[in-house]
C-alpha cells in the first residue's frame, strides 16, 4: 500500500510537470528571426514572378516555344518592375504574377544587356502596388546581413538569408561585357531567383540577384547581386527612354569608332588638299 501511494504521488507529479511544460508559452522569436519575419512581410508583396515565352527553332527550323522563369521587383506605383536582362531576353510574351497570385501581362520598357538589367511594366488600374524602397550600396560591408526573396525553381516566393561575403567582384555576362563592383553573398540564390531583390536588415534593396557560380547550376553559397546604385542609374535611363537598349560601354565604343573615322577622314582630306 505504501509503495502504491508513493507511485501514485510520483506519477501525479510527473503529469503536473508535463502539463505545465506543454501548455506553457512557446519560445519567443529571437531579434534576428523577428527581423526576418518583418522584412518578408513588408517586402514580399513587392517581389513578383516573371514568366517569359521565347521561341526557339529545332534542327528543322520549326518554332518551339520555351518558357522561362525569374523574379522582379516593383519599383514604383506606376507598375515599373526591374529584373535581369537574361530573364526576359528574346521573350515573345511576358507574364507577371503578383504575391496574391493574380497574373498580368507585361510590356518591355527597356534593357541594358551590359549590366544585365531590364525594366518591364504592368498596367493595373485602381490598385495599390507594394514598392520596395531602394537603399544604397555605397557603404556596404563584408559580414553585413542580407536577405534574398525570389522564385527558385518556380516554387513561389522564398526567403533566404546570409551575409555579404565580398565586395567589388567582377563577372563576365552572356554579352561578353564585364559587370563590376558586384556584391557577393552566401544567401541561397537558385535558378528562378534571378531578378529578385537583395535586401538589408532595414528591408531596403541593396542589389538585384543576378548570377551564381556553381558546377551544377544549383546554389553552393556563391551568389552575386548588381549593386543598387548601378540599378538606380540604369533604371532612370531606361524609363526616361534615353539610349534605350544600349549600355554605357556600347555607347562609348561607338563614340570611339566614330571619332577614329572622323580623324581618319580629316587626315585624308588634309593630304588631298596638301597635294
Provide the annotated active-site residues: 86, 116, 194
All cell numbers assigned to 100? 496574391
Cα-based distances in Å from 274 to 128, 219, 262, 269, 270: 70, 66, 18, 9, 6
Distances (CA, A) of 153 to 134, 142, 187, 190: 26, 28, 16, 7
Cα–Cα distance measured from residue 274 to residue 185, given in angstroms and rounded to the nearest whole number: 62
Alpha carbons 210 and 85: distance in angstroms, whole number: 9
CA–CA dist 82, 117 (Å, integer)? 7
Match 540604369 to its residue by C-alpha cell: 234
Write the CA distances from 264 to 46, 257, 268, integer angstroms.
Answer: 52, 11, 6
Closest to 147 measured CA to CA, from 49, 157, 128: 157
The three three-digit cell numbers of residue 117, written as one number: 538589367
Dist CA 219 CA 240 (whole Å)? 36
| Largest separation between any pair of C-alpha atoms in the chain | 132
Amino acid at each position: 500500500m505504501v509503495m502504491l501511494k508513493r507511485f501514485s504521488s510520483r506519477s501525479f507529479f510527473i503529469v503536473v510537470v508535463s502539463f505545465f511544460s506543454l501548455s506553457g508559452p512557446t519560445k519567443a522569436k529571437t531579434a534576428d528571426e523577428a527581423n526576418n519575419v518583418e522584412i518578408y512581410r513588408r517586402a514580399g508583396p513587392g517581389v513578383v514572378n516573371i514568366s517569359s515565352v521565347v521561341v526557339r527553332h529545332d534542327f528543322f527550323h520549326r518554332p518551339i516555344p520555351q518558357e522561362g522563369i525569374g523574379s522582379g521587383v516593383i519599383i514604383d506605383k506606376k507598375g515599373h518592375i526591374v529584373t535581369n536582362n537574361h530573364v526576359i531576353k528574346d521573350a515573345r510574351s511576358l507574364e507577371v504574377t503578383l504575391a496574391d497570385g493574380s497574373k498580368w501581362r507585361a510590356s518591355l520598357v527597356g534593357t541594358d544587356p551590359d549590366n544585365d538589367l531590364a525594366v518591364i511594366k504592368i498596367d493595373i488600374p485602381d490598385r495599390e502596388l507594394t514598392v520596395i524602397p531602394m537603399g544604397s550600396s555605397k557603404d556596404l560591408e563584408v559580414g553585413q546581413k542580407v536577405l534574398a526573396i525570389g522564385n527558385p525553381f518556380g516554387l513561389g516566393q522564398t526567403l533566404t538569408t546570409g551575409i555579404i561575403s565580398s565586395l567589388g567582384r567582377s563577372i563576365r555576362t552572356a554579352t561578353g561585357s564585364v559587370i563590376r563592383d558586384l556584391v557577393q553573398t552566401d544567401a541561397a540564390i537558385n535558378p528562378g531567383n534571378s531578378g529578385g531583390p537583395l535586401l538589408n536588415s532595414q528591408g531596403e534593396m541593396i542589389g538585384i540577384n543576378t548570377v551564381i557560380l556553381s558546377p551544377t547550376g544549383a546554389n553552393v553559397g556563391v551568389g552575386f547581386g548588381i549593386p543598387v546604385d548601378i540599378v538606380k542609374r540604369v533604371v532612370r535611363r531606361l524609363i526616361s527612354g534615353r539610349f534605350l537598349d544600349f549600355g554605357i560601354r556600347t555607347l562609348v565604343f561607338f563614340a570611339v569608332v566614330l571619332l577614329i573615322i572622323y580623324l581618319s577622314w580629316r587626315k585624308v582630306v588634309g593630304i588631298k588638299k596638301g597635294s
